[in-house]
Structure 1
Amino acid sequence: MPNIAKLYEKAIALDLFDANWYTATYKLSFSNEYEAFNDYLRKSPYVDISPSLNFNSACYLRDNPDVYHSGISPLEHYLSTGYMEGRSVFPHKIEWTPRHTVSQAWEDEPIKKQHRYAVVLHIFYEDFVDRFYDALYGVNFNFDLYVLTTEVSLVDRCRERFSKNPRIDRVYVNHVPNRGRNFGPFLVEFGKELLEYDYFLHMHSKRSLYSGQEQSQWANYLIEYLAKDKHVLSQALQILDHHPEYGIYYPVTFWNLPPWVNHWLQNKGIGRHVLANKYGITQSEDFFAYPAGGMFWARPSALKDILEQEWAYESFPPEPLAADGTELHALERIIPYLVKNKGYKQLFYNPTSGDFTEDDSFIYRSYLADNYGRLLHAVNCHQIISFDVFDTIVYRDHLEPDIAKFKMAEILNLGVSGMKFVEYRNQAELELRIANNFSGDVGIYDIYSKLAPSLATELSPVQLADLEFQLDLAMLSGKATMVELVNAIAAQGKTIFFITDTYYTRDHIATLLKKSGVTCPYELFVSSDLGLRKDSGTMWNMIDRKLTTENNKNRFLHIGDSVTSDAQNPGDRGLGNFHILAPMDKWDAMNYPSIRKEFDIKNILHVFKWGPVVSQVGAHPFI
């Protein structure tokens, strides 16, 4: 155990802890400075809080993953060994603050007696029994506890342990099958019962594997601001009580997750299908706020659609589950839309400012905080730098590749509308993919070999394919910032890869890169040439094998705008990656008027109107 008194003295001597600044910045209250220091040491392994203006805790943990995974306070590590090891420290920097806040004027007044509270715990790991007990002990309201566990051995232990909390009126402990993860069992076992309460809390024994190894920081963070921090908990429940418009509460997304965690990822198709077909809800965003990690407080009325539904364990896929892209992964993400559909809003707590807010722009937090500077730092730490092409190195005048096809119909005078030709052209591509069982990829010459016989034109398939490319090429330009980066780092001796999913050929992409201003040597990986794709993961499997064979895996970094193809998929294989915002995502991040829902080639006038505007915003991918 560290000598806290000596750590405190050293922190003061080095001007690394400022109690007045700490309490004012995070809106906290302590009886003395030593108590404030202990609060910082306890929270800082998992909360993005700094001890003073002179020490950035989050930056220290990001730069030193060994410290992060050790689970100790970053300042404690620095004072104990990091200082002598010469580890770098940086000044505190605010990454995000809410644009508006919700009043907290109730000073921890007693919770209203007439409210009925329920807490639902899903416990898979035994050590969480004590962690949840400690977190819930000392709340200033009575509640009923519903415990679900997959382990028979934990049934009696949970019942005995939680019965010691004087605030718990009734304890229900159910042994459940290992199916449905944390959501399935509570919906099957207790969904309808929860409708009888005013509020309920859902927590589970989460251990994150985002970094490739087990860690508890994410769970600690969520438990802290949903139950353990009694001041925050009291304020959250008071806000819910005074503001009936809020239907769900949870802290902003954990700070050390990938920046793209607030995205549909591989769950877009199934998530939108469930929303539309089960609940009649349409949704168009790619990035959005949801309770990442699956823990939250809610009014049962806000989630009535799923609580009153008839669920069975067979409603959920059996274990083992895929890492993403299942109905359970989608279920977590549809929660905010169910809440909104019932007329409620979401409430968030931001620990880095000590504020409650309904501002959900924290989902772009990492992109708003010097993302270009972070990119340069990441590039400097790697030797093989890989880039996506479309919307990363180059951008289109109107965003949509279908515009080139639309123009073809006008030029060729095919006797069909531009929209109808786009439909024919895309259908031919789809039929080829279906014939291939969506394996490998298709090329543009194959597409026009299939399509040409049905067109009223004397042009050959090759001529038609080349015409589409030339029309598209005319609308494509290089992103100056990214092209300059490519040429600059190549001049420093770094190896450059370009990896792209496209029906265009290697020669087409080489021509495009030359037009965009890329002048350096590079290796080119094109899906239509290799029969491998990033979005399916097959391209990344090949890249992984290549880098592993050459002992270069740790020296590799990929940069791209697609969350799944350029970030999640390589990341799942342990490949370094850096995500930049696609043009429409940047448009949304900058809080411009929402146009995504109407932005479809079928609404051609809308595309012609807004495409160039969004395209120019995205020409520089950083905010």
Structure 2
Amino acid sequence: MTSPLPPVVFVHVHYPDIWREMAADLAAAFDRPFGLVLTASCRTTSLVRPQTPHLCFVHEIQVENRGRDVLPFLIALNRLDLTFDIGLKLHTKHSEHHDSGDDWRRFLTRSLLAGDGNPDALALMERLPVLGLMAPAAHLLPLDRRIGLNGPALAALAPRIGLSGDLAAIEKLFFAAGTMFWFRRAALARFRDLDDLFEAERRQTDGTAAHAAERLFAAAVEHAGFVAASMDAVPVLRVLGEGAAPLPDKASLAAIAQAEANKDNPFTSPVSALLRRHRWLLVAAHHASARLPYPLWRLARRLFRLVATR
């Protein structure tokens, strides 16, 4: 059943050239009304619009360059007077630290937009009210050994959104890697009044409030009484609730979501795997990125990749 409220797509545009491609993807994905909220910092030209008759409104907000894509999303989510139930969070992910950054972004967005004019994730969330978040395929991942340098940021953020700041407990959770996902607005109700946690941008590679929020969105959704799943579960979830069959309860849906989640992320690089195994290397990379001149940091990063992949 289609919701009477159009979904709203939130996109943080840090790279306008990438947004042009994403705008075309959005136009092709929807044969039904949807709204669009664009956040951007330090821009001088108007952002392009998806060329589609199904776009029913656009809000454009200029924000400071702080909090990566997360703080702009929260600002838009909480300060605009929008009436909607289901939203989609995207951003112009570039991932300069990753050799396949553009391919990674396309994988994320196209996984979330998959469907024949009505994205599969959106259709499922409209049919299954207990679904609170849908992550891209292969991107609902265990937090075990993925906390990295984010311990202090997680400990600061978790209590503010109603979660325990115990890192041992957090490591047992799952997260939506890449910070792109479909979400139910009610499931993110606790993400309010958090601006003070977000640091100024200094090319940090880890350890910020934005990195912490990435690791807690799915946990907050489940704490609010909803289920977080990934697009891997679509084939199974699609048949639930059809016809006269009763809707599954939360426990059954959560079990399916966990069983179907593909934990083998194809974009986990050898470098990332090495950093997760050796925390001291992660600490060194973090400090180098913050202190070295950018050209020198890029050279050091390339050399490290070369060594790590041998």
The two structures have a TM-score, normalised by structure 2, of 0.72
| Residue of 290, 299, 302 corresponding to 2:184 | 299
Is 1:365 aligned to residue 264 of structure 2?
yes
Percent identity for Structure 1 against Structure 2: 20
2:93 is paired with a residue whose SS is coil
Offset at residue 327 of structure 1 (A) = 1.4
For residue 129 of structure 2, the aligned residue among 244, 259, 271 is 244
Please give the root-mean-square deviation of Cα atoms over the aligned residues, in Å: 3.8
What is the aligned partner in structure 1 of residue 11 from structure 2? 121
Deviation by residue 1:136-175 (Cα, 9 ceiling, x = unmatched): 1141321111111124323x233xx33x421111111122
Match in the other structure for 2:55 = 168
2:234 equivalent to 1:347: no
How far residue 230 of structure 1 moved from its aligned partner, in angstroms, is: 2.5
SS in 2 for 1:157: coil
Structure-2 change in CA distance of 1:281 and 1:152 (3 Å): same
Matched, 1:329 2:217: no
Asked if the contact 1:281/1:337 (under 8 Å) is kept, the reply is no
Q: For residues 344 and 165 of structure 1, do their structure 2 counterparts lie closer, same or farther at Cα, with a shift above 3 Å needed?
A: same
- Alpha-carbon shift at residue 305 of structure 1 (Å): 0.4
Partners of 1:118 and 1:175 in 2: CA distance: 18
Please name the residue that 1:268 is paired with.
151
The DSSP-based 3-state class of the residue aligned with 1:119 is: strand
| Structure with larger Rg | 1
Equivalent of 2:198 in 291, 316, 324:
316
What is the aligned length?
Answer: 266
Show the 5 A alignment for 1:136-535. Answer: 136-138=26-28, 139-154=30-45, 156-158=46-48, 161-162=49-50, 164-193=51-80, 196-211=83-98, 213=99, 215-227=101-113, 229-231=114-116, 234-253=119-138, 263-276=146-159, 278-281=161-164, 284-286=169-171, 288-306=173-191, 309-312=192-195, 315-350=197-232, 358-359=257-258, 362=261, 364-365=263-264
The C-alpha deviation readout for 1:68-89, integer Å capped at 9, x for no partner, is xxxxxxxxxxxxxxxxxxxxxx
- Is the contact between residue 149 and residue 206 of structure 2 (CA under 8 Å) also seen in structure 1? yes
Aligned residue in 2 for 1:553: none
C-alpha distance in 2 between matches for 1:143 and 1:537: 44
Deviation sequence 1:305-364 (CA, Å, 0-9, x none): 00xx2254x54211114211111111110111110111011121129x955551267464
In the other structure, the counterpart of 1:496 is: none
2:308 is the alignment partner of 1:576: yes
Does the 8 A contact of 2:7 with 2:87 survive in 1?
Answer: yes
Answer yes or no: is the 8 Å Cα contact 1:122–1:147 preserved in 2.
yes
What SS does the corresponding residue of 1:240 show, helix, strand or coil? helix
Looking at structure 1, the residues matched to 81 and 182 of structure 2 have their Cα atoms a distance apart, in angstroms, of 12
How far apart in 1 are the matches of 2:81 and 2:218?
Answer: 18
More helix by share: 1
Alignment partners' CA distance in 2, 1:244 and 1:220: 28
- Listed as ranges, the gaps of 5+ residues in structure 1 are 1-110, 367-377, 379-385, 387-391, 393-498, 502-532, 542-569, 579-623
User: Match of 1:133?
Assistant: 23
- Give 3-state SS (helix, strand or coil) of 2:77's partner: helix
> 2: CA distance between counterparts of 1:124 and 1:535?
25
TM-score, normalising length: structure 1: 0.38
Q: What secondary structure, in the 3-state scheme, does the structure 2 residue paired with 1:359 have?
A: helix
CA distance in 1, matches of 2:220, 2:33: 28
Task: Answer with 294-303 or 143-152: which moved more.
Answer: 143-152
The letter for the 1-side match of 2:16 is E
CA distance in 1, matches of 2:154, 2:59: 32
Deviation at residue 128 of structure 1 after TM alignment: 2.2
Cα deviation for residue 246 of structure 1 reads: 1.0
Give me the whole-angstrom Cα distance separating, in 1, the residues matched to 2:260 and 2:172.
Answer: 10
CA contact (8 A) 2:86 2:182 kept: yes
Quick one: which amino acid aligns to residue 322 of structure 1?
Q
Task: Quote the Cα distance in structure 2 between the aligned partners of 1:198 and 1:174.
Answer: 21
In structure 2, distance between residues paired with 1:232 and 1:350: 19
Classify 1:355/1:221 alpha carbon distance in 2 versus 1 (closer, same or farther; 3 Å). Answer: farther
> Which one-letter code corresponds to 2:66 in the other structure?
R
Q: Which runs of 5+ in 2 are unaligned?
A: 238-255, 289-300
